Structure 1
């Protein structure tokens, strides 16, 4: 049986260049076609494109100082900047730019030295520092669980360690023969770089896909007009609250409906009606607790789920919301248009099917409030005996 010859460094470098070329195209498509983190995607596309140029085996050796090493530093800076953009960390990139500029200047200062060891060491130090910065940004911004975050951070640490290890060898800080040779003459090092490139690209694309899925899930649970929870999301939260009600927790449901909404639509048009609903969502949403669930059931009807709230507390909340809405008219055109709503309040009871009973009782109380003159709060029928 004939054994396959081991992969040499030149073949591995070709594979790295091909992978970087493909990654360059993928990130360009993600940013420009799908509009996913366009700025960060452009930086990562440029990173992979520069890596493909820097590591392409056909590049003449005489161009290493002028082209390959500066491209390595710039590419490392683009990787760090692209990662920082994807992680959505709040600080900018002046530190990344500073490291890249220092690396380029230090590389240029070695121009008079015929030995490339100093230039290669500078390039590796800059690349190692930038890889560590990228690792830090991934660690604080990935949003994965600790174990998965550690897996995603590892290739950056390996890349940083490899760069700094080689720089130490090039500067004579460690015995010769410890992996000082470059990728073109060191197949194991080239294989390590290939694995690192693959894992970095895979980890970042996985992060993008995870955030894209989270965005889709968010959109499927949100009302497109107001940004509040939609009916499906409200019913899911209602079922969870019902499970807590079965264990003895006090929870309440509030249903409200905009008064004379047809008149608003007729006088202001559909755009004005939409603005009125958005206005209500903004005004009432600011005063609710983070634990409360505020959503749009449909049309001009809304619901608020109040965890750990008894009937008296729910009535107080509803009255506060009613008064708040009345005090904040809608500014439309050059006029202020008064907005009011009718509220129905009910407590959740053990035995209700997924909490739908409480929602129905609150809805009936809301219609009773409308029948009694609108712009008022009513508790559901029979609530006194359960309070």
Structure 2
């Protein structure tokens, strides 16, 4: 069987990129999976397919192929950044791409394409490094798997810089690289890199979908806080720590006169009240605290490493915040309050449910004493 030549490998690369272009477009536009990132990655594959299509006339390299190389690299970096949900914008990517395109255009008077090819490779290498950085920062995989996903970007950047160095005469004689059209091993390496990048991007999308599904299965659909099952998992974890001497506290709170709210505002208003409570209280809790909805209008908060007095102060602060921020519904402001029960976790409780039950009983005692107040569990010191 004769070995594959560079032209055949370029055709394979172009076909694979054309297929990937359609697949990513369908993911983004039809399935609505990371649509912004999917559009960019689809455009990356589409431009790359055009740039490497063997039928493209050699005379069009400076005007078409090289600019498409730079633009495709920029779209890949921008697509990766959108997929990683990196918080900074893509101005740096646009700046590198613009510089590469302008520098390539500045070589229009040269009969030799070496400088233009070198500039395009330098821009592509920088953009590949930027994509590698964003993947490393936002992939969310373990270190070993993240390094595997980052590797093809580093290989691509290294190949671009090596090729640019040879074109500019910076490499020793014999170490410079011929272009893909005349270098079958390099074309094969590019094919492997493209396939690896495509596989890694799919893995990143799958990781994002799995994380989204996990998030949805652990969150209350209405308020966005932890659902009861997830809350009880955290409760059991903290109880295991309490068995080893750590001090944790539990708050249980219930919206006062919630039936009246539902009757006066309707169920939509009642839902808005619960969402309002979740937002107001959630904004003031620590990242280490666990805020969940137990059901109906009843919520609970886990306060790790918090003593009884500290838990009372937290509960009182939450009560005051909720009272000070009424619900805006229609053209009126509706006061919202809640009753709080506080309990500390003890060794010997089954999965922490004893502390939850004591806090729940204290919450009902707070309601019996007039609502909109904080009480400790009955076997602990009380503070009205």
TM bracket, shorter-chain basis: over 0.9
Matched with 1:204 is 201
Matched with 1:233 is 230
Matched with 2:154 is 157
Listed as ranges, the gaps of 5+ residues in structure 1 are none
| SS of match in other structure, 2:300 | strand
Q: Does 2:313 align with 1:312?
A: no
Matched with 1:32 is 29
CA distance in 1, matches of 2:171, 2:309: 75
Matched with 1:257 is 254
CA distance in 2, matches of 1:371, 1:110: 83
Shifted more, 155-164 versus 112-121: the winner is 112-121
Matched with 1:69 is 66
Task: Tell me how far 1:137 sits from its aligned partner.
Answer: 2.6
Q: What's the TM-score once normalised by structure 1's chain length?
A: 0.92
Q: Give CA deviations for 1:309-336 in whole Å, capped at 9, x if unaligned.
A: 2333323332332233223222222222
CA distance in 1, matches of 2:121, 2:280: 55
CA contact (8 A) 2:10 2:52 kept: yes
CA distance in 2, matches of 1:320, 1:155: 51
Matched with 1:270 is 267
Q: 1:301 to 1:45 in 2, by over 3 A?
A: same
CA distance in 2, matches of 1:322, 1:125: 59
CA distance in 2, matches of 1:65, 1:103: 12
Matched with 1:365 is 362
CA distance in 2, matches of 1:34, 1:343: 44
Matched with 2:345 is 348
Task: Tell me how far 1:179 sits from its aligned partner.
Answer: 4.7
Task: Tell me how far 1:89 sits from its aligned partner.
Answer: 2.6
Matched with 2:132 is 135
CA contact (8 A) 1:179 1:189 kept: no
Matched with 1:169 is 166
Q: 1:115 to 1:320 in 2, by over 3 A?
A: closer
Matched with 1:215 is 212
Q: 1:327 to 1:213 in 2, by over 3 A?
A: same
Q: 1:186 to 1:348 in 2, by over 3 A?
A: same
CA contact (8 A) 2:322 2:336 kept: yes
Q: Does 2:172 align with 1:185?
A: no
Shifted more, 42-51 versus 134-143: the winner is 134-143
| SS of match in other structure, 2:152 | helix
- Coordinate RMSD, CA, aligned: 2.1
Matched with 1:23 is 20
Matched with 2:84 is 87
Listed as ranges, the gaps of 5+ residues in structure 2 are none
CA distance in 2, matches of 1:179, 1:15: 25
How many residues align structurally? 382
Q: 1:270 to 1:81 in 2, by over 3 A?
A: same
Matched with 2:45 is 48
CA contact (8 A) 2:361 2:377 kept: yes
Task: Tell me how far 1:159 sits from its aligned partner.
Answer: 1.1
CA distance in 2, matches of 1:164, 1:171: 10
Task: Tell me how far 1:25 sits from its aligned partner.
Answer: 1.6
Task: Tell me how far 1:176 sits from its aligned partner.
Answer: 4.2
Shifted more, 65-74 versus 87-96: the winner is 87-96
CA distance in 2, matches of 1:260, 1:110: 76
Q: What's the TM-score once normalised by structure 2's chain length?
A: 0.92
Matched with 1:284 is 281
Matched with 1:10 is 7
